[in-house]
Structure 1
Amino acid sequence: MLASAARNVLVVRRSRKLFQARGSLSVQRSAFRYRSTFSPTPTIPASADDKALITLFDEPSNKPSSFSWSHTGLFGHPSLTHPRALISLTNATLIRAQKLTDRILHARESRDELLKVVKNLDRLSDLLCGVIDLSELVRNAHPDRVWVDAANHAYEALCEFMNVLNTHVGLYEVLKAVFTDKSIFDSLSPEARQTALIFWRDFEKSAINLPPKQREKFVSLSSEILVLGREFQRGAIAPRPPVSIKPEELSGLKDQGMGVRLQLQARFTKRDLLIYPGSLQAQMIMRAAPDEEPRRRVYAATHSSTSEQIQVLETMLQKRAELSQLVGSKSFAHLTLDDKMAKSPGKLQNVNHFLDALMNHTAPAVKDALRALSLKKQEHLRTTNVPIIQAWDRDFYCPPEPPTPPISLPPLTLGTVFMALSRLFRHLYGVNLRPAHASPGEVWHTDIQKLEVVDEKQGVIGWIYADLFARRGKPGGAAHYTVRCSRRTDDDYESGDRLEDLPDLNNNIKDSIEFEAVKRHQLPGQDGVYQLPLVVLLCEFARPSISRGATVLQWHEVNTLFHEMGHAMHSMIGRTEYQNVAGTRCATDFVEFPSILMEHFLNSPMVLSLFDPDSTFSTPQSPNHHIDPCHAIDTYQQILLAALDQMYHSPAVLHNDFDSTTEYAKLQNTRGMIPYVNGTSFQTQFGHLFGYGATYYSYLLDRAIASRVWGNVFSEDPLSRTLGERYKDQVLRFGGGRDPWKMVSAILSSPELESGDAEAMRVVGRWRIEDELGLPGRH
C-alpha cells in the first residue's frame, strides 16, 4: 500500500517468464462518478439461481468453524485429501515434465514433432503451473500449517525446475527452428503464433543468447535483485519513528473527542505526545489540527527514510539496469516494455507520451482545485496574500471522504451484490452464477462458497470459489487467483511423451495423470475437449452472524467485488486453446481494463436496479453529482509516481551521481503541483517499484481505456446483450492471444489506434481527463 499522500491504486503486475506460475491479482479502488441519466429499460427478472445467491451468502452458516481432512480432495481432485498428496503430486509432475522436456528437445528429428513444439511448450508450462498455482493459493489461504508447508515445498520445487527451463539453450534452439521454418510458422494459428512469440521473448529476456559466463552473471544478478526487492518491500512497510507533538499544538482540534483524549494523556504523563506515522492519531492530526506545524512534522515523519533503506532501493535499481544492459537493452524499462501495449518502436518514449498527455490534460483541474484550497487556507489564516498549498495541507483543507453510490440505495448485503452481478452477466453475456455444493474436503475452510458459471447454451463453463470473510492468518485486501486456465486438451497427443518407458508407471506418475484428468471437459456445441477455468476470490469482509445478520457492504467494498468479478469473467470467457494466453494472461498494461470497466457499470441506475430482486424495470433517479474537488490532485500525484517509476528504470540510474531523493525532488518541483518537502524521501515507501518496476503506468492506461469504452459503448445501454456479445467477441474471448491495441481498436471502432504507436498513446492520454472530472456528454 502507498502512503496517504499519494492515494494510489494498487496495480497488478503479471510476470511473463516462460514457465512462470500465474500469480494473484490484487487491487485497491475508488468509486467512479456517474454522469448521465437513462430512460427506463426492461430488465430480465431475477431467476431462482440469482435469488439463491442471497440465501447462500447472507444466512449465517450453521456449519462448525473447525476444519478437518476428508476423503474428498481439494478442488475436486481425488488424491488431494491430505498434505502428503501434494508432495506426491509434485514429484509425479516433475517426472512428467522432464519426459515432456525430453520430447521437445528431440523435436527437430521429425517435422511432425516440430509442428507440435508450441503446443508442447504450452503443455509443459501448464503442467507445472497447474500445481504451482494451486500451491500458491493454498500457501496463502489455507488455515492448516501442515498444508501450507506442503504447498511451500511444492511451489519451491517446481519453480526451481522452471528456472532451469527458462534458461535452457536446447529448448530455445528448438523454438528457433520453428520460427526459421517459414512453412511451419505460417501453418500456426494466430493464437499459436502469439503464444510462440511469448515463449521467444521470455527466452531472450533470460540471456539465452549469451555465453555461459554471462548467463551465469544474469542468474546471479537476478538472484541479487530478488533479495534486494524483498528487503526493499520490507522497508517500505516498516514502521517509521514517532514524532514529538506538544499538547498545546493540538488546541482547537476539529476532532474534539480524540483531541481532548490526547491532551489529557499528555497532561497525565507530563510529557510531549509521541505520534507514530500511520496511526489513527497521526491521521486525525493531518485532518483536524488547525496549527500547521504539527501537520508538517507528522507529514515529514511519515515520509522519512533511513540511509540504509535508500541504499537498498538504489542498489536494486542499479542491478536491474546492469541486468538489462547485459542482455542488450538500454534500460530495465526498455526490457520490460517490450511485450506491453507501450511496445516498440518507442517503448519508454511511448509511455512518456501517454503520461505527458495525461499530465497536460489533468493539470487545469488540479490548478482549480489547489486554487480553491488556497482560498480556504487564506480564510483560515486570515492573510492578505493567497498562500501556497503544501503537502501537509491536503487532508486538512480537503478531508478524504468515503466513496458513495451515485444514487440513494438501501443497505446492500453480500448476497444481494452477487445476485446483481449474476443478473448483469446474464444481460451482457448470457451467463449467470449458480450456487454449487462443495463436497467435504473440496475447500480449505467452511467459509468458502462454490459457484458455477453457467452459459445458457454450453452449461457450466467454469467455477469460482469465494473465500470472502476475514479470518486470522488470512492475507488482507482483495485478490483474484487463477488456479486453472482455459486450454484445449484433445490435441495434446500425449502418446508422444513415451510415458510407457517409465519404470513402475502407475506408481510414479498416477497422481499427475489423475490430477490432469479432473480438469478436462467437453462442452455442448463446442469442438474439442477443454480444461475449464477455475478461480478463487479472496476478500476480507465481515462474516454474517445470527446476532448481526447478513454482511452489509460499504460502497467501496461493492466496487471491490465488481472489480474482482471483472477479472473472474475475463478468466471464464477468455476461452483459448493455449493456457499462456488464457483470460488474464495478457499484457500487464491491459490486464486491468476488464476489471476497471466493471466498476463503471456501478455508475448506472439501470444496473443498480438489479440490486432489487423484484425489479423488472430500471427506475431513473437524479444522480449524485458530488465530485471530490481533490480527486484531480490525487490522480495527478499518481501520474507523477508513474513518471518517477519510468525515470528510476531508465539508464540514468547507472550515472555516478544518481540520487533517488534528488530525482524525486526534481520531478516534484518541476512537474508537480505541490512543492517537494525538504528532508523527505517517499520513494522508499513506493513498494510497487519492485513488483511493478517500469509498469506502474498500467493502471492509468487501463483507466483511460475503460473510461472511453464505458462512455462510447456501454453508458447509454449498459444491459444490452448486443453490446455485451460484441465486447465478449472482440475483447474477452481472446485473453492475451491478440494484440491489445487491435482489441481496443475493434471495440471502439477506431482503426487509427490499431498500430498502438506514439500518437495512439498520446490520444489515450487525452481521454481520461474528461471522464475523470465528471464532465457531461459522451466522447
Structure 2
Amino acid sequence: MLAKAARNALRKHAIRSPRPRLEAKREAPHLFCRAATATATVPLPASRDDSDIIVLFDQPSIAQWAASSSSTGLFGHPVLTSPSAFNVLADSTLRRAQVLTQRVLRARESRQELFKVVKNLDRLSDLLCGVIDLAELIRNAHPDKTWVRSADEVYEQLCEFMNVLNTHVGLYEVLHAVLSDPEVVKSLSPEAYQTALIFWRDFEKSGIDLPPQQRERFVSLSTEIMLLGRQFLNETSTAKAPAVIKPEELQGLKDMGMGARLRLQAQVTKRDLFVYPGSLQAQMIMRAAPAEEPRRKVYMAANASSPDQVEVLEKLLRARGELARLVGKSSFAHMTLGDKMAKSPENVQRFLDALLDHTRPYARSALRTLSMRKQAHLNTPPFPTIQAWDRDYYCPPEPPAPPVALPPLTLGTVFMGLSRLFQNLYGISLRLAEVAPGEVWHSDVRKLEVVDEDAGVLGWIYADLFARRGKPGGAAHYTVRCSRRVDDDDIEGDLIHVDEHDRAAMQMSRVFEAAHRREFPGQEGTFQLPVVVLLCEFARPTVGRGPTVLEWHEVMTLFHEMGHAMHSMIGRTEYQNVSGTRCATDFVELPSILMEHFLNSPAVLSLFDPNGSLDIRQAGNHHEDPCRSIDTHTQILLASLDQIYHSPAVLNSQFDSTAALAKLYETRGLIPYVPGTAWQTQFGHLFGYGATYYSYLFDRAIASRVWRKLFSHDPLNRETGERYKREVLKHGGGKDPWKMVSTLLNSSELERGDAEAMEEVGKWKIEDDVSVPGRH
C-alpha cells in the first residue's frame, strides 16, 4: 500500500539514475545553425528578476536573509527549530497517522467513508512521507551531526511504521472493498483510480494475501535483501588491491605531468610501483601508457573480485528470485516490471534487441577505427583485436564541450538562462526569495520561488550547490514536499474518535502539515505547494576568486536536475502519490534528459546573455566521437545483464553470475570478456535499479525523439512548450505514460504500450543524446 511512499522516501525522492561513462558530445556543424532561421522564436528579454538571480549566485557577499530578525524553523516550519523538535514532530506525526489509519479501517461501517478511502490513504502516505523525505534530506545535507542523528532516528521510526502499514491486512481488505464496489469506483477520477491501483499493487508486492507462514518468509526475505544490498554496495566501494607496475613498463608514457612524476618515482626508487584502481595514476596509465601490459594489469586489478564478493551478489539475486516466487511471479523482473512502462522482462528485451540492432553497426565501425589505430601504433597485421584495456588509450575520453564556442559561464548566469528558458517555454520564471534566519541548514543554500505568470507562486527550490566537507558527492534532486489538493481533507472527520489529550499530541503535526498552501486561479481547491532541494558539489565562489565558473558537464548537470525540479513544480496533482516525479521508474528521467538536449541549441545558449553581448559563434573543431556508439553498446549489455541477473535462471542451483557475464559478452559483445575478471560486483546499480537498469536508455530514446520532432527546429516556441507541459509535465504519474508520450508525438501505435511499442522505441535514434554520468 504505502510501499510506494516508502520507496519514494528511500530511493526516488533523491533521484539517482544509472549513467553511462563520461563521453564527449560532438555534432556536425550544420546542426547548430537551425535556430537562426527566419521562423525561429525570438527570445523574451531578460527581466530584473533574472539579473537578481545572477547576483544571488555569483556574489557571495550578498546575503539572502530577510529583513526581519525573527527566526523560524527549517523550510519555514515554525515547529522545526531544533533537533529535539524534529523528534517531537515525528511522535506527533506518528500519533496522527495512527488515528488516520483507524479511520480507514472503520470505513466499511459507513458507506460515505468508503468514498473517502483513496483520499485518506493518500493523505496517510503524504503525512508520513512529508516527514520521512525531510529526514532523508537532513541526514544527507545538514552539517550539524546532532541534526543528522535526529534525522536518522526519525527516519527509522516512521519507516518502521510505514512497513507495518505495507502489510496491514485490514487496510488491504478495505481497499479491496472499495475497488469491488462499482459505484465507488465510478466516483473516482482517473487520477484517483490510478492512485488506488498504486496502493493495490504495492499491497500485492508486499505479499499481503499470503498465508501467515509465507508472509513471515516474505518479511524475512525482504530483510535479507536489504542487508545483502547494503553489504553489496559497501563492497563496491571497498578499495581494491593495487596493480604492480614495473618501471620499464612506463616507458613512453605520453602524459607530461603525472606521467613524468611516475617515471621519475620509478627511476629514483628502482622499485615496482603500486597503482590502485580508480586513482588518478590508474586513469593516466589507461589513457597514456603505450605499452599494453601496464594497462592490462590496471584493468585486471580494477575488475577482479573475491569469491566472497561474488557470493554476496549471488545471494542477493537468489533472495530476490525467491521473493518473486513467493508472490507467484516467475522472476524478480516479472514482479518489478508489472507497473512500469515496460510491463514485462520480455518487453524490455524487445526494446534492448531493437536498440542493439540499431547500435551494433555504428559500434562495429567505431571498433574498426580503434583497431586501425592499434595497428598503426604497434605495426601489426590488419585489424588487431581491441581488448578491454585498449578502449581509453586508443580513444581517450574527452570532457563534454558546448556545441559552439562560449565564454566562461558563471553559476548565476546559467541559472538566469534557465529562468529565461522556462519563461519562454512555459511562462514560468525563477525569482529570488528571501530566507528567514533558521530556514536553511547552511549559509550556502539559496532559495528560489518558481512563479507562473498567471497562477503566481508554484513552489520553491532550495539550491545547495557548493561542495563542503561531509556533504555527499554527485548531484541529486530531493522532493521534500509534494503537491496535492488539501481543501477536501476533512480533518474534523479524523478527530471524531479522538480525545482532547490525543488532539493536543497531534497539534505539532497539524501545524507542520498546514504550511505552504494556496488556491490557484481557474483551478478548484487549495493545494499544498511542492518544495524541492537540489544538491550539487560545485566550487564555492569567493571574494578573491570571484563567482563560480562551471565546466560544461556541470552546466549539463544543472539542466538535468532542473528538469526534475520543474517536473515537481508543474506536476500539480490532487494526489501526492502521483505528483511530479512520483511516476514510473522508466519514465521519471524523460523530463531531465530532455532538458539536456536544449543545450544543443544556439537559441537557448543565447539566453545566457542578459544584454545581447555574448559572442555565440560556431566552433570549427567539432567532430563525431567514434567511441560514443561503443559506450552505448556497452550500456545495452549492462541492461541485458541486469535482466539476466533478475530472471528465473538465478534460482538454478548451477547459476554462476560470472559465467553468465562471460556468455553475454561471447554472444552479444564487441570487446572480448577478460577471463579472471568478475566486474559485476562493481555494478552497484544492480541493487538500486534491479531489473530496471534499461530505464535510462529507454528515456534517452524517448527524449531524443521528443527533441527532434517537437523542439529542435524552434526550441523557444511557447506553443510547443505549453503542449509538452499540458500533455506530460502536469500529470506527474497520474496518467498512463504511454498515453502521454503517444499524444505528445502523435503516435497512436504507442498508446497500447505493448511489446511492439517497446520495440518501436528501441528503433529510435539516441546517438545525439548529451548525457553525462553522475547526474541524478
Q: What TM-score comes out, normalization by structure 1 length?
A: 0.94
2:248 equivalent to 1:248: yes
- Contact 1:18/1:203 (8 A) holds in 2: no
Q: Which moved more, 1:412-421 or 1:515-524?
A: 515-524
Q: Which moved more, 1:262-271 or 1:28-37?
A: 28-37
2:12 equivalent to 1:26: no
Letter in 2 for 1:218: F
- Contact 2:629/2:767 (8 A) holds in 1: no
Partner of 2:4: 16
Q: CA deviation at 1:64?
A: 12
* Residue aligned with 1:226, SS: helix
* Residue aligned with 1:425, SS: helix
- Contact 1:467/1:536 (8 A) holds in 2: yes
Partner of 2:170: 170
Letter in 2 for 1:304: A
2:541 equivalent to 1:551: no
Letter in 2 for 1:37: C
* Residue aligned with 1:723, SS: helix
Matches for 1:484-499 after TM superposition, within 5 Å: 484-498=481-495
Whole-Å Cα distance in 1 between the matches of residues 613 and 284 of structure 2?
45
2:468 equivalent to 1:471: yes
Matches for 1:256-295 after TM superposition, within 5 Å: 256-295=256-295
Whole-Å Cα distance in 2 between the matches of residues 94 and 291 of structure 1?
63
2:105 equivalent to 1:105: yes
Partner of 1:562: 559
Matches for 1:226-245 after TM superposition, within 5 Å: 226-245=226-245
- Contact 1:70/1:81 (8 A) holds in 2: no
- Contact 2:304/2:676 (8 A) holds in 1: yes
Q: CA deviation at 1:584?
A: 0.1
Q: CA deviation at 1:244?
A: 0.8
Partner of 2:214: 214
Partner of 1:646: 643
Q: CA deviation at 1:673?
A: 0.4
Q: CA deviation at 1:208?
A: 0.5
Q: 1:149 to 1:161 in 2, by over 3 A?
A: same
Whole-Å Cα distance in 1 between the matches of residues 665 and 397 of structure 2?
22
Whole-Å Cα distance in 2 between the matches of residues 689 and 770 of structure 1?
25
Q: CA deviation at 1:323?
A: 0.4
Query: What are the superposed Cα offsets for residues 38-79 of structure 1, whole Å, 9 maximum, x if unpaired?
Result: 2254210000001111000001236699xxx98310001011
- Contact 1:143/1:445 (8 A) holds in 2: yes
Partner of 1:37: 33
Partner of 2:517: 520
- Contact 1:606/1:620 (8 A) holds in 2: no
Partner of 2:774: none
Q: 1:423 to 1:602 in 2, by over 3 A?
A: same
Partner of 1:131: 131
Whole-Å Cα distance in 2 between the matches of residues 75 and 386 of structure 1?
61
> Size of the alignment, in residue pairs?
755
- Contact 2:596/2:770 (8 A) holds in 1: no
- Contact 1:304/1:679 (8 A) holds in 2: yes
* Residue aligned with 1:466, SS: strand
Letter in 2 for 1:569: M
Q: 1:86 to 1:769 in 2, by over 3 A?
A: closer
Matches for 1:306-317 after TM superposition, within 5 Å: 306-317=306-317
Partner of 1:85: 85
Whole-Å Cα distance in 2 between the matches of residues 87 and 773 of structure 1?
44
Whole-Å Cα distance in 1 between the matches of residues 685 and 767 of structure 2?
27
2:667 equivalent to 1:670: yes
Q: CA deviation at 1:601?
A: 0.3
Q: CA deviation at 1:290?
A: 0.8
2:382 aligned residue (381, 385, 391): 385
* Residue aligned with 1:244, SS: strand
Q: CA deviation at 1:495?
A: 1.4
Partner of 2:587: 590
- Contact 1:32/1:599 (8 A) holds in 2: no
2:421 equivalent to 1:424: yes
Partner of 1:55: 55
Matches for 1:437-516 after TM superposition, within 5 Å: 437-498=434-495, 501-505=498-502, 507-516=504-513
Matches for 1:264-413 after TM superposition, within 5 Å: 264-343=264-343, 347-413=344-410
- Contact 2:420/2:429 (8 A) holds in 1: yes
Q: CA deviation at 1:517?
A: 1.1
Matches for 1:144-159 after TM superposition, within 5 Å: 144-159=144-159
- Contact 1:575/1:733 (8 A) holds in 2: yes
Letter in 1 for 2:33: T
Whole-Å Cα distance in 1 between the matches of residues 438 and 452 of structure 2?
27
1:764 aligned residue (743, 761, 765): 761
- Contact 1:486/1:579 (8 A) holds in 2: yes
* Residue aligned with 2:305, SS: coil
Query: What are the superposed Cα offsets for residues 265-295 of structure 1, whole Å, 9 maximum, x if unpaired?
Result: 2233331111111111111111111111111
Whole-Å Cα distance in 2 between the matches of residues 624 and 768 of structure 1?
24
Partner of 1:7: none
Task: Structure 2: give runs of 5+ residues left out of the alignment.
Answer: 772-776
Q: 1:379 to 1:675 in 2, by over 3 A?
A: same
* Residue aligned with 1:527, SS: strand
Query: What are the superposed Cα offsets for residues 526-563 of structure 1, whole Å, 9 maximum, x if unpaired?
Result: 32110000000000000000111010000000000000
Letter in 2 for 1:555: W
Q: 1:623 to 1:558 in 2, by over 3 A?
A: farther
Whole-Å Cα distance in 1 between the matches of residues 274 and 613 of structure 2?
57
Q: Considering only aligned residues, what root-mean-square deviation do their CA atoms show, in Å?
A: 2.0
Q: CA deviation at 1:503?
A: 3.6
Q: CA deviation at 1:522?
A: 1.7
Q: 1:553 to 1:270 in 2, by over 3 A?
A: same
Q: CA deviation at 1:615?
A: 2.8
2:599 aligned residue (590, 599, 602): 602
Whole-Å Cα distance in 2 between the matches of residues 20 and 621 of structure 1?
43
Whole-Å Cα distance in 1 between the matches of residues 397 and 613 of structure 2?
36
Q: CA deviation at 1:618?
A: 11
Partner of 1:614: 611
Q: Which moved more, 1:39-48 or 1:216-225?
A: 39-48
Q: 1:625 to 1:754 in 2, by over 3 A?
A: farther
Letter in 1 for 2:16: S
Q: CA deviation at 1:384?
A: 2.5
Letter in 1 for 2:648: P
- Contact 1:703/1:768 (8 A) holds in 2: no
Letter in 2 for 1:659: D
2:734 aligned residue (719, 737, 743): 737
Q: CA deviation at 1:501?
A: 2.0
- Contact 1:484/1:532 (8 A) holds in 2: yes
Q: CA deviation at 1:23?
A: 2.7
Whole-Å Cα distance in 2 between the matches of residues 674 and 586 of structure 1?
36
Q: 1:616 to 1:409 in 2, by over 3 A?
A: closer
Q: CA deviation at 1:19?
A: 7.5
Q: CA deviation at 1:37?
A: 2.2
2:684 equivalent to 1:694: no
* Residue aligned with 2:451, SS: strand
- Contact 1:19/1:166 (8 A) holds in 2: no
Q: CA deviation at 1:31?
A: 6.2
Q: CA deviation at 1:622?
A: 6.4
Q: 1:527 to 1:83 in 2, by over 3 A?
A: same
- Contact 1:466/1:536 (8 A) holds in 2: yes
Q: 1:19 to 1:677 in 2, by over 3 A?
A: closer
- Contact 1:43/1:616 (8 A) holds in 2: no
Whole-Å Cα distance in 1 between the matches of residues 206 and 3 of structure 2?
13
1:579 aligned residue (572, 576, 579): 576
Q: CA deviation at 1:20?
A: 5.3
Partner of 1:191: 191
